[in-house]
A and B are shown apart, each in its own frame.
Chain A
């Protein structure tokens, strides 16, 4: 038996589209989701990295601060032993490597060192020049010879000596630029009220600071921290990461007093980690895509297999129906012939009743086969209208008459309100099939109401038929489903063929083919089907 496969080819584009959607949507969605998640994560990570880096830079700042504290203690300890005599003070400066110069003011504001009376060394003279702005009173008077600055200290930046607060508060750092060189003075007031200022040797200061800061150890990879001095040049740096000229610092931090014009810059880290994550996302997407594609392909294969099977079944049923049609027609023909041959006055008894049953059952079988064949034709798009001139009511009467015995057997009384006797063009076979399905529907489901009202009327080019039963009716939520197109790949095709699915569905298809529709109207009690057909006036063509 040859099994045509046209049904399969008709399914393919839609199935493919569905599959593409099924495959692409999850990939796109998960990709988008992953992208979002990663972006969020990256932002979070970036934030974490930045705060970590900031924390680290703050740690460095703390180290710098503790270096200053250390310097303070060294200088204060040295100051304890500061001699009073000028010559010894000179030696003091020479012996302390941290020191460049020193000033000492007595409690009454008189400068003790550098000395005012004894000759100055060149270095002391330069010190006074460097710090000339510290003695503004002198500068304002402008009278004193150079190097003889400040008979009485009028220090602006530093407090006046002997201005009695607690000695603990009377100390601090003073920073200024002399040319391009940044200088630091640590000053304090000792117990005897002297104001002592120690100028750091800048180069030694930086060298000491560098010695206190970390070096590029074995584990100092992936970052570079730069210490930028007040001139904006790199004073020191550490970390194995070598930033190129265009690289921008991930984070920066200005140092605390007294190095507030210095800053730290952090390069590297973060960017590298994020890069691998993008790569990871790509891999994840690829894996997900692969899985979904595999699933899609599996579904597609399964689908085509199902379609092929369903197609084979439909074709099989179709074939069988065709094969059944001829013997059934013969059975019906001979049953009817027998009916005619039987004497009219023959005993109203068994033979005639048996014959009636044979005839009606074979008609029922014909209807079923007709439905199956119509369904198959419709599937193939080969359903065609064959309109001819006639009266609708004739067909209605004839069909209803055929159903009367079986309806009566179920206790259903049928009434007909026939008002469509105009000669119009329509397909009588189609109409009969529609009515067959509707009456058969009533017979099966609406018999409990005990009544069937059929009404026909004509308006213009349309004929309307209403078939109403008084049975349990069709619940609202089911209303749409009674016409639901038969699910083609369902393996339960044959089971459904006897149910509402195929019958009402075909009836509606046929009504629509006929330029009208079949609708279900609510009626209490029962169900009311309204068939509308395009029936143009047949006119005088006959």
Chain B
């Protein structure tokens, strides 16, 4: 009787989620139909089908007469998609950890989330399901989603038990994605793990390099860390280098929501293989790229993004050193080139843009002309770097130093950015102080995971 009751309870719990999904789908469908009708009747020319490339300096006007640092933000924003039929097909491998620690509610929720995710996909999408413990099993080889019931039945057979061959699981998942790997598809491995990898390569560095290689292939890896037992460094590196998403899910009950977000963003991808090349003009010295992995060779900075979703903004913040200049003078600072694959038009595109800097003696003008959006992003990225350093120190057990670093950092943020963007600087200062206080808490493990998630989302401009 008790079991029946609890099952009924779980039904009630899951039903709203499903109905919510249905409602959402219905809403979006009607919205899309409406939009399509509108477009047809109005017969207006289609909106810009090109991503937008913006290049801006935090301080486009700087003080004359001295060498100084400035933040350059290159941001790329995805255009809106009119018709759902236009969306590129998704080719996803769901890789589920089924090691012993997943037993019970976790694996049950994971199964539910995976089956629910199927409903978000449509004809033409490809899905595969891979599970791993000590070994890997391809539960559903890459197949079209049309065989939905069969796939769901296969997912229901998954039970937990064994050790954790995470590397092999991701490799097999990537192998399944590779079967249908195509430029016009959104190729993605979605990894759910709650534990530490213990068979095969298991360090964050190694998994990061795997992520990097997969990213180059056009496969992004989304990592979902469940509970408090996983290695957040490994999971964020793997996701980060492949330009996938990362999420920290403390309670198995939230898995369905995360899966939904993940699949929704996967469906919204409109651009892939974005290569960004920044040529700094003579005299301008590139110092560092914040957040993203990049190559700096002389005056040339290269970085790449695997994919971009509709309406999503992704950006790179480059710190540069600008030589002293004369008041009133203006100088070209850098030119930026972007090449990418447009998944809607199915064509490769190249965009160019550039940015200049001018010098003034008027300090007020410097402040007045400051670009608040660039400053906000810069603050976040600089703080993020400090946050990572603090975690590193905290990992070494140097709690005091880590706290000191964050407090100093907060002060530094205020000093450097306070004048240009007071509100975000204050906000960041408070957040850093709060983080500094929480470094010492008993729930460090959990705190660390949420910090890593936050850092990751800032690095990658994740949408959810």
Contact = CB atoms under 8 A, between A and B. Distances in A.
Q: Which bracket fits the contact residues of A? A: 20 to 34
A257 B216 CA distance: 28
Nearest to B141: A215
B209 interface: yes
Contacts of B135: 215-216, 224, 237-240
B407 to A, nearest CB: 32
Contacts of A123: 295
Contact of B210 (A204, A224, A236): A204
Nearest to A206: B201
Contacts of A224: 135
- Is chain A's binding surface mostly helix, strand, loop or mixed? mixed
Contact of A96 (B174, B178, B210, B216): B216
B113 to A, nearest CB: 22
A13 interface: no
Nearest to B298: A119
A207 B295 contact: no
B145 interface: no
B216 A119 contact: no
A94 interface: yes
Interface string B183-210: 0000000000000000111000011011
A42 to B, nearest CB: 29
Nearest to B215: A97
Interface residues of B, number: 34
Which of the listed residues A123, A204, A217, A240 has the most CB atoms from chain B within 10 Å of its own CB?
A204
A475 B36 CA distance: 126
Interface in A237-293: 237-240, 242
Contacts of A202: 209
A120 B201 CA distance: 29
B209 to A, nearest CB: 4
Contact of B175 (A119, A204, A212): A212
A211 B175 contact: yes
Contacts of A90: 295, 297
A236 B168 CA distance: 7
B217 interface: yes
A203 interface: yes
Contacts of B172: 210-211, 215
B302 interface: yes
A51 interface: no
A478 to B, nearest CB: 82
Nearest to A212: B175
B210 A94 contact: no
B136 to A, nearest CB: 5
Nearest to A123: B295
A234 B210 contact: no
A235 B202 CA distance: 10
B136 A215 contact: yes
A210 B171 contact: yes
A211 B130 CA distance: 12
A201 interface: yes
Nearest to B202: A233
Interface string A118-148: 1111110000000000000000000000000
Interface of A: 90, 94-98, 118-123, 201-204, 206-208, 210-212, 215-217, 224, 234-240, 242
19 contacts: A96-B216, A98-B213, A121-B295, A122-B295, A204-B210, A204-B214, A207-B167, A207-B171, A207-B214, A208-B175, A210-B171, A210-B175, A210-B200, A211-B171, A211-B178, A234-B200, A236-B199, A237-B134, A238-B135
The 10 closest A-B pairs by CB, nearest first: A211-B175, A204-B213, A97-B216, A210-B171, A207-B171, A216-B135, A97-B217, A97-B213, A203-B209, A203-B210
